[in-house]
Chain A
């Protein structure tokens, strides 16, 4: 347990050092979206009878927590290729399982910080997100868990730090736009919808939106996320094991 705590503790110390910078960077993108759609378009757009800003807020939470959890891959890459602290950690008696879990929890902390930032910003737009909703907490946590695990997988697969940027451009950014953050999926042609339903962000967006807006909760999305989280975590542990060529 202590080695796992060490990994999380290290992350907390680093976050503490960068706290203000990190909070500002977490808030820029969602703030811009909310200003554009909340104040810019105000009453001109509505979906399912809701002001557009209210509709996209849960989507922004899903996207932002995904991005910040996935940003863990950049940190691991820097520790692998630049600071070389990855080798140092691997020279200590930490198991692959503990290391992976420690990094996933670190990614989840980042994901939750990003979520909390949006929750605070949303108050400016008079939207209150219920923090006491267990399904909301579960959905955000699973979303962060999945993308932290995926961050570990990709950071071990890439051969150079520059490749990480490519993955962000080709995987993370398209997901942010295609998985129902900004509009309902029913607008897609049937075949596109089938592809988009395979992506985990689609399910986390649906689950978070339902828990925030009080829609019937899509439990199948929750199960899909649990399954995806388990599979991606197992793969993450295996790639860490494989990193010792």
Chain B
């Protein structure tokens, strides 16, 4: 569905994306993780044809994003980081304008809107100005808008940022359902549990380079299924082991405070990048 070959994007002296190679299969949910400024949004902008690559190629369903951007745009639905809806228009008017931009007939827009309203649970608010919607309602409207023209690939840049836990879970279920109905999903996130729950495969990018690729389970197993948090005079650190027995053997030989637990994707991320996925959650923990 998506083929990225030797993709590089430079902004003067800064290399935002550095020789990225990646393939995403049809009906796959692919999570793209990385610290702030790692190159996630630039990659998404290139996939959405909003930014031109400096070198390399990107194909979506066989179409080159540089040579055939209009065709590519018909294949994709994009959910940007921001709540980019027209606040003066009602939810329904936002959808009509979007449908017309995709050359849909009014009757088709109405039919598809009816279908999507069930999915996004906005039926009774659809004729209110979108500027009066809550953050969660806006997000759901944006998802409906991105799905209106039935795209083969849904591209989402941090789809649940700023939403409460309940709405986030609701959107997760929606994303799974979208995939089950035949679409491919490419998304970035700052929430590690989101990536772990949703993704069939995860790619971790740092300083523009892809540094890890695989299913969450594969990535975790590469380091070890068991993690031991150790707190000593050097500060906190994590050691990884393949089995609990190996971890117990290691702990019997040391005299330090330690917690034994299952390794998660965040451990992998921190080990690879030296940073947390969501620096804000770091601040909260401190």
Interface residues of B (CB under 8 A from A): 48-52, 70-71, 73-74, 76, 78, 80, 82, 84-89, 93, 96-98, 100-104, 129
Interface residues of A (CB under 8 A from B): 2-3, 5-7, 9-10, 13-14, 17-18, 83-85, 87-95, 244-245
* Pair B74/A87 contact, Cβ less than 8 Å: no
A6 in contact with B50 given A18-B88, A84-B84, A93-B74 (CB within 8 Å): no
* Pair B97/A87 contact, Cβ less than 8 Å: no
5 residue pairs of the A-B complex, CB under 8 angstroms, read A2-B103, A84-B80, A84-B84, A88-B98, A92-B73
Which of A10, A85, A91 has a CB less than 8 Å from the CB of B73? A91
Closest B residue to A15 by beta carbon equals B88
Most buried by A among B73, B74, B80, B97: B97
Mostly, the A contact residues are: helix
* Pair B52/A93 contact, Cβ less than 8 Å: no
* Pair B101/A92 contact, Cβ less than 8 Å: yes
* Pair A14/B88 contact, Cβ less than 8 Å: yes
Q: Which residues of B lie under 8 Å from residue A92 when comparing CB positions? A: 73, 98, 101-102
Question: How many angstroms between the C-alpha atoms of A93 and B86 in the bound complex?
Answer: 18
Closest B residue to A242 by beta carbon equals B52
Which of A2, A14, A18 has a CB less than 8 Å from the CB of B100? A2
A88 in contact with B80 given A95-B70, A244-B51 (CB within 8 Å): yes
Mostly, the B contact residues are: loop
* Pair A87/B101 contact, Cβ less than 8 Å: no
Question: How many angstroms between the C-alpha atoms of A13 and B88 in the bound complex?
Answer: 8
Most buried by B among A3, A89, A93, A94: A93
Q: Which residues of B lie under 8 Å from residue A90 when comparing CB positions? A: 49-50
A103 → B minimal CB distance (Å): 13
B50 → A minimal CB distance (Å): 6
A14 in contact with B86 given A91-B50, A92-B73 (CB within 8 Å): yes
A3 in contact with B85 given A90-B50, A92-B73, A245-B51 (CB within 8 Å): no
A83 in contact with B74 given A91-B49, A245-B52 (CB within 8 Å): no
Question: How many angstroms between the C-alpha atoms of A84 and B138 in the bound complex?
Answer: 14
A17 in contact with B88 given A91-B48, A93-B74 (CB within 8 Å): yes
Question: How many angstroms between the C-alpha atoms of A5 and B86 in the bound complex?
Answer: 17
Closest B residue to A98 by beta carbon equals B101
* Pair A87/B80 contact, Cβ less than 8 Å: yes
